[in-house]
Structure 1
Amino acid sequence: MDKQRKSLRNDAIARREALSPAHRTDADRAIAAALDELIARLAPTTLGFCWPHRGEPDMRAFVIAWLAADAARRAALPVVVAPDQPMVFREWTASSEMIPDRHGIPMPADGEVLHPDVLLVPLNAFDDAGFRLGYGGGYFDRTLERMAPTPVTIGLGYELGRVSTTHPQPHDHPMDWLVTETGAHPAAIRQRP
């Protein structure tokens, strides 16, 4: 099973990294448009998102525009405290000082720890039930297991990562929503808010 999951993950990442810049730009615009409608419906005040890594959809411009529309809104990026611990979400603004984490991904150097109402989670491979394959470290699953209340989770990815099954494991947490360049889709396994 681990071999199948690793193969799905690696294939999806390779296909994503092979996208042309023009295709990626067009797909990111479509994802942002679908996300805008969904976020307007969910109306969070604190939005967790991820810095794009290895060709993931880049929603930084979306988050900056979302923050600018209402001074009460806040955004946060995940910070890995320790490898086997849940992540924390540190406040982020466009002017935040950023430093690389242990994987080289930018994170806020400091900032208040926040609890997102809605969490945007990157998808490598994913299925219609809402299960995803990240990079295999279990960071999001560990974090979601311990977050109370659990935020609404929105998986963000490209259609090329959609598979028939990710072969979910007992510890895997399905997303509530999947947003790709084809629109926002409720995950089959979850109840919608």
Structure 2
Amino acid sequence: MMDLACEVSWRRGAINSLTCDQFSRLDFLDSNHDDFIVIPPSQKFGYQRQFEIPFRLAFRVAEFITAERKQFLSHKGWSESRTQNRVFISEQGGEPLENQTISQIFGDAFKVLGCPRGANIHSFRRKFANDLIDEEILHRLELGLDTSEISIATTVAFKMGHSNPESLKPYINKRLSRIVKRHKKLKENRVQTLEDENRALKERIALMERDWIRSK
């Protein structure tokens, strides 16, 4: 669950709704791509959007289903019927987890780790968004592309399955200002380094010319 939240930025409801059939071996044998297409049954506002997840991550989920999950059910003596085909199930009875239970699991774990108050599974989605915003800004700065807030927000929102790009603009504004300043400073430093190297080369050439003239 943590890897799906961190690498794909799905909300807890989307992760919790995944079914074993979506990660069947037949799908993997037929796949010739680096990414694996998944449509979480439960999505915000009832959307049914397709998402690409790294093939290695999808394979790990499939391995979990056929290994740990299967062994757990066997150990408990529970049939598959009680799981409703869901990937993530309760250790108390084998039924599908409640969304709130997932929040509780991660909230307790973050608390033990000493993380700030309010840290939860949704924190991975915020981290994903911030990292994606940073990457998009730097990419556009390097290529001289449009760095307007709405342009970046639209791209990031699409990749995250976000319905409202406008809601990302405040986050982008803060990070854009900081990254642009840092990028400008780095660019100035590179220019200064090149100028210093150029000056040093000119001095070396001048010394070599002087020594050559003296040798004559």
TM-score in terms of structure 1 length? 0.21
Indicate the structure whose relative CO is greater, using CA pairs within 8 Å and at least 6 residues apart. 1
Structure 1 or 2: more strand by fraction: 1
TM-score in terms of structure 2 length? 0.20
Q: Whose radius of gyration is greater, 1 or 2? A: 2
